[in-house]
Amino acid sequence: MTKKVGRDHRQEPDDAGTTGDNFRVDRVFAAPRPVAPPRRVPTGAPATGTPPGPLPNVSAGTAPPAMPRTDTSQLGDGDTELALRRQLSRLQRQLADAQRELANKDDELAASVEKRVEIAEAYEAAVSELRESQHRLEELGDFQARSAGTEQRLAEAVAAADELAHQLERERAERGAMAVQFDELNAAFDRARALWKEESSAIEEQHAAQVARLELQKRAAVDAAEAAMKATLDRQNIAHEAELGELRGAHERSLAAIRGELEPKVAEARNLNAEIERLTSELAATRAEHLRELGERAELHKWETQQASEAHAAELEAKARAHAADVNRLNSELEASTAALDKAERNAAVREQLWEQTTTKLRDSEKRLQQEHAEARERAAQVEAAKWVIEQRLVTALQQGEQLTASNIELQARVEGAEAEARRNHLDRERFAAFLEEGLAMLGAIPPEDEEPEITEIEADEPPPPEREPSVDDLPSAPRAKAPSAPPMIHPNVQPRSQRGSDPPMVRAAPVHDVDEPDALPDPTRPGNKLLT
């Protein structure tokens, strides 16, 4: 808290109707005013003044200017009173100036202490900011470690996505190869079907010719059996068509069996070449077996046609039954093979869809990880910039701390110097008070002889405690209307008899008034003021 400039905070409140002269000014010792020429007094007039005592020990640098000695024995009553009042007013002004200078020193000391407190607060703020900067640096290190872990996980995820993409490409290539092989097998099946149709047509033509010859022979031999032969021929044609259907169903069943064998081949993609060779060999074996069966059946048919005259009806019925059984078997096998192939195709489509979904998810996760990685890099860049700013502020704070430390040391030195100056000013004030007391004694403004105060010893080595220093604030202001006489000056270390054993006395001085004002003159008839008559 700063004190009001130009006003001493230790001063006492002024009395009503008076103005205070307690404003602080620089220390000035005014030159003595010219004194009127002394008047001659009869030689026989008694002298009521007190001879001056020895001056106190005052140094040359702090001693006030010497006052002119006035021979009071040669002055009249009016001139003597005027000269004494002028000298007293001058001495009071000098004392007030000294006390004001001491108050200024106190203000300077208080300002230096406040500046020192502000420097200490700034230093503490810089230290707290330094600690906060260190804490933020530690947090930045932790964030950098977390960013490194995130980058590593992102790299692992990208590698896994690449591996899955390569695996998907390989599976697509294998599926394409399997599709090509399936197309080749279908083409081979179509060729075998065309060959079977040609052979079947040839067999039908041959059978028709044989039936025609048999019919001619039977008509020539047995006219009565013509209707039976026609019915037999019709039944044989129907049986032959059924046999052809059975052969067609057998071929389709063999094809379905081949398709059924292709299903495990899809699962066993690595052994696809061996499976293809095995399927090719099985297809060739099936074809050879079919051709062999066709040859056997053709031979059997030839033999049966040759033996038709003996057991044509029984053989036709047996062939019809065998052909129907084969047709049923081949149809069932073909249906099973077709269902297995459809199931394999559906499973392949489901697996492809699953692979596509997995690939899409992996791509989305890769994009998300890339975005997170970019954001992490951006945050890392921001953190690096903030770290650089914090380091710069830290360096600035350290420099300011060093400057504050230097200024703190300087202020300590200044405070010590101010304290020493205050002690010197206190000693100077005591010396000046002693000098003022001597001057008042010389002028005769001293208490009566019957109430002479008891003077205590002055300790010049140790100054009085700074808690209660006499200053200009302790000087009361007398009202102008009453115009009291100037009270006697009391030394700071002099205690009257009425105040012994109580608090230390305070310096009481009369208010400073202009000598031209008649109200400020003391009453010479008042007891206690011994003036020269």
What is the per-residue DSSP string for 192-236?
HHHHHHHHHHHHHHHHHHHHHHHHHHHHHH-STTHHHHHHHHHHH
Whether 108 maps to a domain, the answer reads no
Do 200 and 281 contact (CB within 8 A), yes or no? no
Q: How many CB atoms lie within 10 A of CB 202?
A: 11
- Do residues 403 and 128 lie in contact, with contact meaning Cβ atoms separated by under 8 Å? no
Residue 33 placed within a domain:
no
Q: What is the mean pLDDT of residues 190-197?
A: 86
- pLDDT confidence of 404, banded at 50, 70, 90? confident
Say if residue 460's pLDDT is above 50: no
Asked whether the CA dihedral 99, 101, 102, 104 is positive or negative, the reply is: positive
> What is the pTM (predicted TM-score) of this model?
0.25
The answer as to whether 321 is a domain residue is: yes
Q: For residue 463, is it within any domain? A: no
First CA to last CA distance, the chain: 54
Tokens 């008899």 correspond to 497
Output the furthest CA–CA distance in the chain (Å, rounded).
220
Decide if 279 is inside a domain.
yes
Q: What pLDDT is recorded for position 366? A: 86
Give tens-digit pLDDT for 110-169.
888 888 888 888 888 888 888 888 888 888 888 888 888 888 888 888 888 888 888 888
Mean per-residue pLDDT, 242-247: 86
Is 341 a member of any domain?
A: yes
**Helix or strand or coil: residue 49?**
coil
Mind listing the pLDDT tens digit for each residue in 76-122? Answer: 577 888 888 888 888 888 888 888 888 888 888 888 888 888 888 88
Query: Which structural domain range is residue 283 located in?
Result: 152-379
> Within 10 A of 163 (CB to CB), how many other CB atoms are there?
11
Backbone torsions φ then ψ of 47, nearest 5 degrees:
-100, 120
The letter for the amino acid at 19 is: T
172/160 Cα distance (integer angstroms) = 18
CA dist 62 and 84 (Å) reads 24
Provide the pLDDT for residue 491: 42
Which position has the higher pLDDT, 523 or 360? Answer: 360
Is residue 471 domain-resident?
no
Number of domains comprising the chain: 1
Torsion angle, CA of 321/326/332/338, rounded to 10 degrees?
-150
Give tens-digit pLDDT for 462-475.
Answer: 444 444 444 434 44
The residues near 156 (Cβ < 8 Å, ≥ 6 apart) are: none
- Nearest Cα neighbor of 106 from 398, 532, 469 is 469
Mean pLDDT of 439-451: 62
Task: Count other Cβ atoms within 10 Å, centred on residue 245.
Answer: 17
Residue found by looking up tokens 């530690």 in the block: 138
**Radius of gyration of the chain from Cα atoms?**
70
Task: Using pLDDT thresholds of 50, 70 and 90, give the confidence band for residue 356.
Answer: confident
Tokens of 32: 């003595």
**Does some domain include residue 186?**
yes
Q: Does the pLDDT at position 529 exceed 60?
A: no
